[in-house]
Amino acid sequence: MTAKVGEKAPDFTMTTTENIDTLDHVVQLGDYQGKWLILFFYPLDFTFVCPTEIRGFNSRIEELRALGAEVLGVSTDSVYSHRAWIKTSQEEGGLGELHYPLASDITKQVAQDYGVLIEEKGISLRGLFIIDPEGVVRYQVVSDLNVGRSVGEIIRVLQALQTGGLCPIDWQAGEKTI
């Protein structure tokens, strides 16, 4: 099963950094039932573009939660690598404190199911999926490794999806739909 817009999102089970000390928290797609989920894949921990995106989501997490959405970042690194990166200060190339979890797709199955796995490298492309409260993929964007995403654009798209209406180009929250 590969993720497709308008269809049920592939289920997943991954260990996360939700409990940073024990790393024993396991997340499944069903945990987000009744909420919007921003599921984003990034290539690797301890890299250059990835922390800008992860911190970008972190800086706007309350805005996303106010819209009924949760965020889950995913890479093929282990939860131990995630924890080390979170516990490393930004000045030393780390992330610092996060207010949402990072998940480990160490088996690479989730990246494969969502169509973002680069098999020969064992990492994922920058894939982002907005999954609605019923578990249906409503939006996806996949980009190459070297281009970061815009959290502002993701929020705009989430708001547009939540209207249930037809939103023209450059639609912004508060504007009329078609």
Look at the pTM and tell me if it is higher than 0.85: yes
Write down the pLDDT at residue 82: 98
Q: Select which of 3, 50, 102, 116 is catalytic.
A: 50
pLDDT for the residue 85: 97
Q: Which residues contact 72 (CB under 8 A, 6 or more apart)?
A: 16, 27, 32, 37, 38, 39, 40, 100, 101, 102, 103
CB 128 within 8 A of CB 24: no
pLDDT value of residue 1: 77
Ordered by start, the domain boundaries in the chain are: 13-147
Flag residues of the chain having pLDDT under 70: none
Cα 100 to chain centroid distance, Å, stands at 10
Q: What is the pLDDT of residue 2?
A: 93
Q: Is 167 a residue of the active site? A: no
A 10 A CB-CB count for 76 gives 24
Q: What does the pLDDT read at residue 73?
A: 98
Q: Report in angstroms the alpha-carbon separations of 139 from 1, 33, 74, 79, 97.
A: 17, 17, 17, 27, 28
What are the angstrom distances between the C-alpha of 136 and each of 30, 38, 53, 74?
11, 12, 24, 19
Q: What is the CATH number of domain 13-147?
A: 3.40.30.10
